[in-house]
Chain A
Amino acid sequence: MDITRFKSKGFFIPGLISLVLLILLATLPLSLGGYTVVLVTTILMYAILTVSWVLFSGPSGYMSLASAAFFGVGIYIGALLLPNTGQVLPLLVVVVLGGLASSIVALGVGALTLRLRGIYFAIFTFGLVVLILEVLNWWEHTVSHIRGRFVMVVDNETIFYVMLAIFVATMLTFFFLRRSKFGLALQSIGQNEEAAAHSGVNVTMVKVLTFALSAFFVGAAGVVWATRLTYIDPYIAFNFFLSFLPVLMAIFGGIGQIYGPVVGAAIFAYLQETLQTEFPEVYMLTFGIVLVVVILYLPNGIVGLIPKLWRRISGGQHANT
């Protein structure tokens, strides 16, 4: 199998490309506006979830299905602190609080469960989504007697810019973590946890902290998403799909390269939006077929295609591995 690993080849060119893309994104509302802004916000939301998932699960090898839980915690914090009856705190403060709340949940869960390996960890993290959902449901039914919560309306452009800011923060964290000593330790845990401990890595701490860090961005995105939903209840906030979609998007895009998850999330979210509106009857079917094809024929995801195509264009002097 082809082992694609991210290597540092200088900062300048990738940095420049990222900057140009960022400026293009930031000026988007001015040039296009309307529906495009809403669509790109959705793409950014999925990208944050996917990159956050890869941030932890990629190098460590622990498959987390807790994304929906962290996202839901963010949504709920958003609904509680940004009700339509009157804003309690500024939006950005609530975004940070939502992120922190998700991190705290991740710290607790991580400390309890990160000694579980493989499938057990995946199942437990998914169980967390169900657990929080059911507890909240019970609470709203029997204690607070609130059927659903209305969230403050925020204009699309503000939502877009806050989401963009969270996305940039996620990408920068992802980028620098991969290059850091901490990132090296996380990767070594994924390779051989016992040897990592022998090397002097505090494996539990590295795992739990990274888990909490990745949850922060998901929770922050959840707060913003709440203002877009404007009405939430526990079932809307804790949507099981959002535990699986980041995993699928990451595999779809390819996790070997830093931009893989972003490309995966972008194409995936775009497909989802268009298929859902254009072909609502066959949307899930088409979706499933595309995914199966990618997994079967592109083990390194969509971005794994680029070196292959490049080899073909440049005359194929390199062996096709």
Chain B
Amino acid sequence: MLEVSNIDTFYGKAQALWDVSLRIDEAEIVALIGANGAGKTTLLNTISGLLRPASGSVEFLGQRIDGLAPHTIVELGVSHVPEGRRLFTDMSVRENLEMGAYTSGAWKRKEETLEQVYQVFPALKERGGQLARTLSGGEQQMLAMGRGLMSKPKLCMFDEPSFGLAPMLVLEVFQVMKSLREQGITILLIEQNVRHTLEIADRGYVLENGRIALEGESKKLLKEELIRKAYLGL
């Protein structure tokens, strides 16, 4: 479904990604693991078009998407739930969700999609008229995820959705990931919570200093020495 091939991405003169390749198949959950500054968010931003790779290519459903504008990539079916939620804080919960359905195809079906999102996150329905800034941290994360789903994506990329959440809510976030996959949505997940992530993911990639250090099936990754030492503290 998504094929990232040998990309190099720069911030000005500083190179952040080196020859990174990554593949995601339909209805998979793929985990992207790595320390802070390893390039996880940079990779997501490159896929969603906010950054352009200096070399290499990104293909989505057989079409080259590197170099396309972010709004075009959303329209093709790639949704990106950014790190730190990035909500429209002085707009209502409902308006935030509607903004998620901004692309022309999704806008026509927004009422229907809204009902589906409310089923996944019932708390958002009750708070529809409230300003996003008045929600609790957990609800804000739900809203960010809900907004990402409003575009009816085929591939949804989540950047640390459990960040700053209470342990109970973290488990809930992982439950949501699983149920989304059951609905046929492919997921690329960045997480600090390596054990939980690898437990629900099919495959995983480990980024270190802008390079893919390790990749493979989650079960195998959980047994890898590198992961056990560096990320699980075993």
- Shortest C-beta distance, A42 to chain B (Å), equals 34
Chain B residues lying within 8 Å of A191, measured Cβ to Cβ, are 87-91
By the criterion CB–CB under 8 Å, are B74 and A200 in contact?
yes
Interface positions, chain A 177-203, Cβ under 8 Å from B, are 181, 184-185, 187-188, 191-192, 194-203
Chain B residues lying within 8 Å of A296, measured Cβ to Cβ, are none
By the criterion CB–CB under 8 Å, are B87 and A199 in contact?
no
By the criterion CB–CB under 8 Å, are B75 and A199 in contact?
no
By the criterion CB–CB under 8 Å, are B99 and A196 in contact?
yes
A215 and B71 CA atoms in complex are apart in Å by 26
- B79-91 CB contact bits vs A (8 Å, 1 = yes)? 1111000111111
A201 and B103 CA atoms in complex are apart in Å by 7
Q: Is A5 an interface residue (CB 8 A)?
A: yes
CB contact under 8 A between A198 and B88, given known A184-B95, A185-B102, A188-B99: no
By the criterion CB–CB under 8 Å, are A197 and B70 in contact?
yes
A5, closest chain B residue (CB): B90
Q: Is A3 an interface residue (CB 8 A)?
A: yes
By the criterion CB–CB under 8 Å, are A195 and B82 in contact?
yes
By the criterion CB–CB under 8 Å, are B87 and A181 in contact?
no
Query: Main SS of chain A's interface residues?
Result: helix
Chain B residues lying within 8 Å of A187, measured Cβ to Cβ, are 88, 91, 95
Q: Is B163 an interface residue (CB 8 A)?
A: no
CB contact under 8 A between A197 and B71, given known A3-B131, A192-B87: yes
Interface positions, chain B 92-112, Cβ under 8 Å from A, are 95, 98-100, 102-103, 106-107
Given contacts A3-B131, A199-B99, 6 further A-B contacts (CB under 8 A): A191-B88, A191-B90, A198-B82, A198-B86, A200-B102, A200-B151
By a beta-carbon cutoff of 8 Å, the part of chain B in contact with chain A is 48, 50, 69-71, 74-75, 79-82, 86-91, 95, 98-100, 102-103, 106-107, 131, 147, 151
A selection of 10 A-B contacts at a CB cut-off of 8 Å is A184-B99, A188-B99, A192-B86, A192-B87, A192-B89, A199-B100, A200-B71, A200-B102, A200-B103, A202-B69
Q: What are the nearest 10 A-B pairs in CB distance?
A: A200-B74, A195-B86, A191-B88, A200-B103, A197-B70, A200-B102, A200-B71, A202-B71, A199-B99, A199-B102
